[in-house]
Amino acid sequence: MTGRNTTQASAGELLELVRRGRATTRGALQQATGLSRATVGQRLDRLFRAGWLREGAGGPVDSPLGGRPAITLEFDAEHAVVLAADLDTRHARAAVLSLSGEILAEHGGTLVIEDGPELVLGELGRWFAELLQKAGHGAGEVCGIGLAVPGPVDIDTGRVVQPPMMPGWDGYDLRGRMAQAFTEHTGAGPVPVLVDNDANLMAYGEQRSGHYGCSAFVLVKVSTGIGAGVVVGGSVYRGVDGGAGDIGHIRVPEGADALCRCGSYGCLAAVASGGAVARRLAEAGVPAASGSDVRELLAAGHPEAVALAREAGRRVGEVLATVVTLLNPGVLMMAGDLAGTPFLTGVRELLYERALPRSTARLDIVTSRLGERAGLVGAGALVVEHLYAPERVEERLQALGV
């Protein structure tokens, strides 16, 4: 911001500098923005009155001539909480998180996506009310709700678009219903609700938590279906209408006769997802109905499950060879029900065989660090980054009257 007109560096931009650790004293903010000491003080005062900033310990002395240590400024991550939920086809997780991403209380249980948005989101509202009580926070402390769903999402409207695995959800007003359910079960006023694809939010949570320096990060979730999340330059890449990363519906030669849930034949998800592996195990007489059943069989070392998971990994690896060549990521992370050693072995075999050596020379292929919490952490981060973006800070400060 150096060299900008001093009237343009807003309170929101000062908060951004502090949150990112780029300028954490009054003197550093003056240098970064070109604002006068008095103007910096006035704008910081608004942030203090909102409860968003606090003073920390003394930092380095601002002046080369010495003097008292400068008081550091910190984003107060305890002034509010975020609610987050991660929906799968037959299971969901919900949590209360601090603004720094710490999970304060969480719950997982059965929620069947095919029961429809009215029932599922209503039940989430009940979960959220119970979790707030468990975490010791009031509903009035909630600043927003993040929701991860297993389908493509139009980020501008928060509505899912033709989701193969979410019958009855296409075009539904998820934001409105989720806000309504929150109010119904807590008595609090409506709060902002943000919705995104589950693989996107898992990728966002994992990249921010463990691979922050990676400028091109890809996460592939292989559970009942298959999807990918891509984080480039610290931001989720969604494509023009939220359809980026939907690799489960790329056609593969081996699946010519396999019917996918989207209605087409030959999709990758129809032959290599957790659901597809479960179906093949069931045909062989092994009790399995879903990706989670396959995960349990893999954990027990079931030989046929291990062999099919490795085969599924090879099929996914063949598609990922193109993905890696196109995006040239630094990290490729495998997550979901199948993301264990057999599946990863299969992915590596085909990926290194088919991709150009240059594309894989600096590539780390890893498994999920956050596990089942990745979507929750990503959903929470999505809300925080939205609400504390510089332009939105100004709107919120005005609404608070500070």
Q: What digits encode the pLDDT tens for the residues 91-114? A: 999 999 999 999 999 999 999 999
For the segment 272-290, the average pLDDT, to the nearest whole number, is: 93
One-letter identity of residue 280: R
Q: Are 348 and 365 in contact (CB under 8 A)?
A: yes
**Per-residue pLDDT tens for 320-365?**
999 999 999 999 999 999 999 999 999 999 999 999 899 999 999 9
Residues in the chain: 402
pLDDT band at 253 (very low <50, low <70, confident <90, very high): confident
Q: Of all helices (H) and strands (E), which one includes residue 294?
A: helix 291-299
Helices (H), 8-105: 11-19, 26-33, 37-50
pLDDT > 50? residue 152: yes
pLDDT band at 292 (very low <50, low <70, confident <90, very high): confident
H/E/C letters for each residue in 28-50?
Answer: HHHHHHCCCHHHHHHHHHHHHHH
Region label for 136, one of left (φ > 0), alpha (ψ between -120 and 50) or beta (otherwise):
left
Longest pairwise C-alpha distance within the chain: 80
Sequence-distant (≥ 6) Cβ neighbours of residue 96 within 8 angstroms: 81, 82, 83, 103, 104, 105, 106, 128, 131, 132, 134, 135, 137
pLDDT > 90? residue 209: yes
For the segment 75-82, the average pLDDT, to the nearest whole number, is: 96
One-letter identity of residue 95: A
Region label for 341, one of left (φ > 0), alpha (ψ between -120 and 50) or beta (otherwise):
alpha
User: Angle at Cα 315 formed by Cα 311 and Cα 318, nearest 5°?
Assistant: 135
Is 317 exposed, middle or buried (CB count within 10 Å of its CB: 0-12, 13-18, 19+)?
Answer: buried
